[in-house]
């Protein structure tokens, strides 16, 4: 409720204008800073587009927002990086179907032995190509939920992030590069709030449908967008729709991105498309909770696919949080469940270990000063080393972007 008492007829119009502006927030809202943007409580207002100067200045360095990525014309850094890693990408694994997910021509001829470890076919998470790590589909800690949300940053996420903050709950946010450039202050809020940020491609298409160079561009520009806006370089990604095979894994691996998938799907993302019902999503959440209650997760935890996609998916997450909290011993970001204490290339940020998190130290520690986490950081103090095929030119491009390859 917002009231005012007009003091005199002379200043009544002025006072009325000020009052309206304060009541509606029209003039009071600061849309130039993360803190100001986080204060907005009206979802419609949150989703009014705004201009953020660093993005305006860098936009020509990126593909068109929401369009499938290709290496931007004249982007020699990206091209040189691609040329450096492309020899390690298999050429005997073919492109599958289309980037919009039509695999009808592929699945009919694809061998049942699943030679490419194609997740969309048999939910394969153990690569068959030598040298690739397993996908993360579960978490090792018993009775633990690896908590994360895809498709953000959503412009209207303040109420959801406020709720997580009230619960002192951190999560892993899988951000789409195009969304990051559309909503940069919302992306920054994830870092400020102590969530872990992973990449979720540039334009959110089916990755096995891209030729290798374009698949590289989908990952490269997503990471670059996150770095531009938040100052950190993610070391993890999740394939949209889970669509990944060993060719795409090899590209992600060369970019120092750990592939994170899921074991169970809430299908919350299908409600807005009319492909499932809210009742079915409730059942999916309930079934996941049942796993914790019936002992199925007594020796290792799990990951449920959920989304920061729209008001419904976020409201559903809020609705189910208390029930999840009751059923699981621990709900932690995926990186915390993996004891991955350095989530980004930049070494001035650290996630708590699993033990620290469950003891109450949930906050990501680190500086928010972008200048100290600039792309010139090469992490020499952390024993970082590089692939032998990498040329010095490629290394310089990597370090410019803040991307380093860690041998594990
Ligand atoms: Zn997604």
C-alpha dihedral sign at 36, 197, 407, 355 = positive
Nearest Cα to 121, choosing from 132, 131, 109, 134?
109
Distance 165 CA to ligand 1 centre (A): 23
Question: In the structure encoding, which two tokens stand for residue 89, read together?
Answer: 């990408």
Domain boundaries, given as residue ranges, for the chain = 59-106+134-401
pLDDT, one tens digit per residue, over 133-149 is: 999 999 999 999 999 99
pLDDT interval class at 363 (50, 70, 90): confident
Helices in 363-402 by DSSP H: which ranges? 392-401
Residue 150 bears catalytic tag: yes
Which DSSP symbol is given to 210?
S
Distance 264 CA to ligand 1 centre (A): 14
Residue 397: what pLDDT? 43
Query: What distance in Å separates the CA atoms of residue 275 and residue 366, rounded to the nearest whole number?
Result: 42
Nearest Cα to 124, choosing from 116, 264, 237, 145?
116
Which DSSP symbol is given to 380?
G
Protein residues near ligand 1, an ion, with CB under 5 A: 150-151, 240
pLDDT interval class at 27 (50, 70, 90): low
pTM: 0.85
Residue 157 bears catalytic tag: no
The yes/no answer on whether domain 59-106+134-401 falls in CATH 3.40.50.300 is: no
pLDDT, one tens digit per residue, over 40-58 is: 999 999 999 999 999 999 9
């Amino acid at each position: 409720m917002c009231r005012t008492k007009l003091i005199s007829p002379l200043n009544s119009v002025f006072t009325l204008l000020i009052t309206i502006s304060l009541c509606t927030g029209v003039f009071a809202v600061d849309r130039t800073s993360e803190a100001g943007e986080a204060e907005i409580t009206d979802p419609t207002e949150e989703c009014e587009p705004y201009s953020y100067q660093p993005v305006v200045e860098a936009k020509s360095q990126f593909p068109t927002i929401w369009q499938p990525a290709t290496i931007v014309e004249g982007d020699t850094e990206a091209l040189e990086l691609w040329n450096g890693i492309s020899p390690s990408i298999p050429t005997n694994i073919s492109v599958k179907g289309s980037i919009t997910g039509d695999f009808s021509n592929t699945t009919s001829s694809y061998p049942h032995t699943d030679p490419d470890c194609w997740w969309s076919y048999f939910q394969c998470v153990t690569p068959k190509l030598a040298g690739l790590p397993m996908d993360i589909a579960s978490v090792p800690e018993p009775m633990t939920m690896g908590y994360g949300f895809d498709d953000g940053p959503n412009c209207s996420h303040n109420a959801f992030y406020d709720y997580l903050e009230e619960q002192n709950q951190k999560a892993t946010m899988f951000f789409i590069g195009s969304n990051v450039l559309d909503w940069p202050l919302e992306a920054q809020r994830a870092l400020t709030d102590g969530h872990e940020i992973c990449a979720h491609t540039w334009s959110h298409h089916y990755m096995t449908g891209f030729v290798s160079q374009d698949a590289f561009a989908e990952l490269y520009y997503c990471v670059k967008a996150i770095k531009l806006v938040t100052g950190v370089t993610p070391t993890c990604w999740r394939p949209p729709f889970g669509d990944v095979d060993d060719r795409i894994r090899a590209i992600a691996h060369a970019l120092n991105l750990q592939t994170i998938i899921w074991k169970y799907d809430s299908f919350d993302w299908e409600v807005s498309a009319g492909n499932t019902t809210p009742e079915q999503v409730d059942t999916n959440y309930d079934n996941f909770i049942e796993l914790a209650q019936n002992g199925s997760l007594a020796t290792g935890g799990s990951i449920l696919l959920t989304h920061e996609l729209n008001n419904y998916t976020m409201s559903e997450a809020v609705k189910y949080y208390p029930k999840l909290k009751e059923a699981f011993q621990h709900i932690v970001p995926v990186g915390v469940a993996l004891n991955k204490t350095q989530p980004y290339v930049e070494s001035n940020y650290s996630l708590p270990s699993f033990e620290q998190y469950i003891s109450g130290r949930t906050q990501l520690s680190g500086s928010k000063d972008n200048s100290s986490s600039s792309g010139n950081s090469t992490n020499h103090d952390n024993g970082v080393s590089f692939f032998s095929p990498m040329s010095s030119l490629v290394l310089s491009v990597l370090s410019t972007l803040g991307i380093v390859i860690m041998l594990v």
